Copies of this chain bind each other. A is one copy, B any other.
Amino acid sequence: MLLAKATQTSALDSRLTADDAELLRQMLRAWGDLDADLLYKGSARGGHLGDEILQAGQPRPPIDLSELLRSEFWQFQMEFAEGWEQHPTMMQPVGGMDRIVKGFESRLGGVIVRKAPVTRIVDGDRKVRVRYRHNGAEHEITADFCINCAPAYLVKDIRNNFSRAYRDALAVVHPGKLFKIAFQGRRRFWEEDDRIYGGISWTDQPIMQLWYPAHGFHKAKGILLGSYTWDPEQGEAWGRLRPEQRLAAAIAQGEKLHPGYGELVEKGISIAWGKVPYQMGCSPEFTPEDRARHFPTLQTPNQRHYLVGDQMSFVSGWQEGAVRSAHAAVEHIHHRVASGD
């Protein structure tokens, strides 16, 4: 309303033709659901009070503008779903994101060696050697190429013979300290009591948000995300708590969104990626300056060593970034081999 009124002042007249200014007022009236006097008196778009099917729905009264402005919701949550990496259509693998990993795993058979910390990488112009510990013994593999998806901030501390520029680039990548909690609902109270079907509830408490499952509607139980924060300080604070303390804190905070929450959820589990051995974080980050200066260096192999993973994309934390960076490495190797390298 204020904005539509503002279009009537001379401030805009110098920037718009009279026709466009009138169209702008009409657009604001349609967009803002304003009355003929350009006043906002509530909108059916916000739902109705009471029955709206057999009786004419009564719109909810407008929320005070000052109160809206003082909420933090517009700082990013309001626009969150419009972010380019959040746009629908978003597909979900049936069974969860790790079905993608499990799918690769099942086709790779016995190729994967687990619990094998790498201790040394010797890159060369014909071969690359990787040394690792496994079951108490030292092993070494010599290969034509190494495609390495370990986080740069761990790779930098593995003994290596990379170029100075490559090592400088590895050193600027720092770990995201993301944190998540999941609970099982003893029943799907968010659907049964609150008619919530998927989506997010935001809060300014440390849990930051609750996510509701977009599948399994009306089944007996379901898993909801009881916290997901990507704030590094909050992530580290959660990580310092013991697992049972984390669940207790998340339940106390969730109580404000869902009264009786503690009785409604069970079997909580938490993960503070900063505490996961040999991962020590997730969703690696560059500052914009470091990204501009060092990312191209890491996008180029150090002789026969390729760094891949979501860290080598502009969508850190997303599987698509990991897959695309692997495709790029494979394509690069293909061209090298095809040209006799």
Tell me which residues from 1 to 30 in chain A have a Cβ below 8 Å from any Cβ of chain B.
2-3, 5-12, 15-17, 20, 23-24, 26-27, 30
Taking CB atoms and an 8 Å cut-off, the chain A residues in 26-54 that contact chain B are 26-27, 30-31, 33, 44-48, 52-54
Q: Identify which of B31, B44, B53, B74 contacts A313 (C-beta below 8 A).
A: B53
Cβ contact within 8 Å between A314 and B11: no
Among A232-240, A275-283, A321-329, the stretch in contact with B: A321-329
Number of interface residues of A (CB under 8 A): 62
Binds B, one of A62-70, A136-144, A146-154, A333-341: A62-70
A27 and B5 alpha carbons, distance in the complex (Å): 17
Q: Give which listed residue, B10, B195, B313, contacts A54 with CB less than 8 A.
A: B313
The reply on A84 being an interface residue by CB < 8 A is: yes
Counting CB contacts under 8 A, is A184 at the interface?
A: no
A10, A24, A53, A328: residue with the most chain B Cβ atoms closer than 10 Å: A53
**Residue contact A314 to B57, C-beta cutoff 8 Å:** yes
- Give the distance to chain B from A291, nearest Cβ to Cβ, in Å: 8
Q: Does A79 contact B (CB under 8 A)?
A: yes
Are B33 and A79 in contact (CB-based, < 8 A)? yes
**Chain A 171-211 interface residues, beta-carbon cutoff 8 Å to B:** 195, 197-198
Cα distance A83–B30 when bound, in Å?
Answer: 12
Query: How many copies of this chain?
Result: 2
Known: A30-B76, A45-B82, A76-B30. A315 touches B5 (CB 8 A): no
Q: How far is the CB of A271 from chain B (nearest CB, A)?
A: 25
Asked if A115 is at the interface of the complex by the 8 Å CB criterion, the answer is: no
Report A70 CB to chain B, min CB distance, Å. Answer: 7
List of B residues within 8 angstroms of A24 by Cβ: 2, 69
Complex alpha-carbon distance, A56 and B288, angstroms: 11
Instruction: Beyond A6-B6, A26-B75, A56-B314, list 19 extra A-B contacts (CB 8 Å).
Output: A2-B7, A2-B12, A2-B24, A6-B12, A9-B9, A9-B11, A20-B66, A27-B69, A30-B78, A33-B79, A45-B82, A45-B84, A47-B84, A53-B314, A53-B320, A54-B299, A54-B312, A54-B324, A55-B314
